[in-house]
Structure 1
Amino acid sequence: MLQVLVLAAVLGFWHVMTSPTLLPPFYFDNPSQAAFFFGEPLKVFGRVVEWFVSGEIYRHLWITLFETMAAFVIGTVSGLAVGMWLALSPTAAAILDPYIKAMNSMPRVILAPIFSVWFGLGVWSKVALGFTLVFFIVFFNVYQGVREVSPNILASARMLGANKRQLLRHVYLPSATSWVFSSLHTSVGLAFVGAVVGEYLGSAAGVGYLILQAEGTFDMNTVMAGIVVLTAFALVLDWAVGVVEKRLMKWQPKSGETEKL
């Protein structure tokens, strides 16, 4: 209820501040200027409904969601595999450490034009940009999670006769999984960022393309409608990650149970 009230308060404040018949902001000479800069919530909602009723949004939304999900899945799997490999191979980690840090410090936006040249203006250049954002988040979390496995747990498992494969399955992976899911909630938003930024720099379809076209005509209501749609689907994907996390992390005691123990 409190979450709903917060949303209602934000939308109410937005509506009042952009309505010329209610309480316009004192720092605007003309009340219509507020609506020009920030849009009007009722018109934004109407634009979203119009998109879905007419079906105009579906093709663009599908393209953006495909780019996001492809970048998210490929980046997560790659980050998990490479992070696990380097965490269990100290020599390889020492050799590749400066190169990984150099690639991680590189601004991703400057890679977008390069990916457009390599992969064209289709979906795969956006997937590549999203991949670079997701990969390093997952990689560093997995790497840190595996390296922080308790030596006592490893020693106990070895004393019980666990081989390398069993250690990987029953010790390292469970330890890394909790770190992975902590990074996936951030990675969902970054995958969307990669897809939309790529569509900004060059595309003929996608929600980012719709927002870019609306910005070109100073149609702030359509811009805000695109942002609302992207935000809603990002929350849905984050919720899906949370559901999977609860199923896979049943073995992990909750905070209240830990205190009781």
Structure 2
Amino acid sequence: MTEIAEAAPEYEVETEEQILARVRNNARRAKARTWGLRALLVALWLGSWELTASLWIDPFFYSKPSLIWDRLVEWFTEGTQFGSIWLQLYTTVQEAVLGFVIGTVAGVVLGVLLGRSRYWADVLAPFIKALNAVPRIVLASLFIIWFGLGLSSKVATVVVLVFFAVFFNAFTGAREVDGNVINNARILGASRRQVLTAIVLPSATTWILSSLHTAFGFALIGAVVGEYAGASKGLGLLISNAQGTFDAAGIYAGMIIITVVALVAEWVIGLAENRLLKWRPSQAGSGHGV
């Protein structure tokens, strides 16, 4: 028995600092592999597109990455035929942000109020569904007739798109609040306003914040659609002009700029969500990256 015990290997016990360092290193390596694979996929996609457009398909209709890059460089160094690219970008972002804020506030307020009032929700349900069913491009055209080609018509289009994306989530979040919690609060003497602000709103926060990721994408779509229908400046105008002049590279360039703006906004909203929901239990690995 003594010989067996002496022959048994001795294991070195890791300290807490060593375990944390190993976990961080593994996480960094995994992240590096993920980004490396992403970069490889993008390189393969762009390379195959460039090769295909150079050898087999007509780049006049399908464009290619090198032409798109040239158009982006031209816009950011020489400007566009409608002025500086920064002016076009600022105009579209301004329209999207203003409409996003107005539509979000309206969607949250009405969603929570109707979510807690079953009677008014039943009364207004057909009207809300009818408004949600109206094609947005039709509303964009009407807004241009009503408000002109300026900022107001684009903001109105954005508000309509954002409102419904936020409203339905806020409505569902308000309906999903545990009734026992509300009843206990009322027994303890909480007023209707206190129940709404201290229980319903915090409980619906997760639903509301999750809708903002989609809502800002809708905000950019609304701004571009409004500009596409009629505008004097903006990224939608650049894309519309590129379509009219058969400039496929210009269309792709406008799409890329809008995509970058959407990704930056998604990152900012994600930071705000993580900060506001620090109280929520961690759900690591449940649906991340989807």
Using structure 1 for the length normalisation, give the TM-score. 0.89
Quote the offset at 1:160 in angstroms.
4.4
The residue identity in structure 2 corresponding to 1:8 is A
Identity across matched positions, percent = 47
Decide which moves more: 112-121 or 52-61: 52-61
CA shift digits 1:142-173 (9 cap, x unpaired): 00100011122223433444333332222111
Greater gyration radius:
2
Q: Does 1:57 align with 2:85?
A: yes
The equivalent position to 2:248 in structure 1, one of 220, 235, 258, is 220
Inter-partner Cα distance in structure 2 for 1:128 and 1:163 = 36
Q: Does 1:199 align with 2:223?
A: no
Ranges in structure 2 where 5+ consecutive residues have no aligned partner:
1-34
The equivalent position to 2:169 in structure 1, one of 141, 155, 171, is 141
1:11 corresponds to:
46
Alpha-carbon distance change, 257 to 67 in structure 1, aligned in 2, over 3 angstroms? closer
The equivalent position to 1:96 in structure 2, one of 92, 102, 124, is 124
Inter-partner Cα distance in structure 2 for 1:67 and 1:239 = 19
1:184 corresponds to:
212
1:165 corresponds to:
193
Decide which moves more: 35-44 or 158-167: 158-167
CA shift digits 1:165-212 (9 cap, x unpaired): 332222111121111111111111111111111111111111111111
Task: Give the ranges of 4+ consecutive aligned residues of structure 1 lying more than 6 Å apart after TM superposition.
Answer: none
Alpha-carbon distance change, 209 to 236 in structure 1, aligned in 2, over 3 angstroms? same
Q: Give the aligned CA root-mean-square deviation in angstroms.
A: 1.8
Ranges in structure 1 where 5+ consecutive residues have no aligned partner:
25-30
2:66 corresponds to:
42
* SS of 1:255 mapped into structure 2: coil
Decide which moves more: 201-210 or 249-258: 249-258
Using structure 2 for the length normalisation, give the TM-score. 0.80
The residue identity in structure 2 corresponding to 1:9 is L
* SS of 1:232 mapped into structure 2: helix
Aligned length: 247
The residue identity in structure 2 corresponding to 1:81 is V
The equivalent position to 1:248 in structure 2, one of 267, 276, 284, is 276
1:118 corresponds to:
146
CA shift digits 1:104-139 (9 cap, x unpaired): 111111111211111111111111111111101100
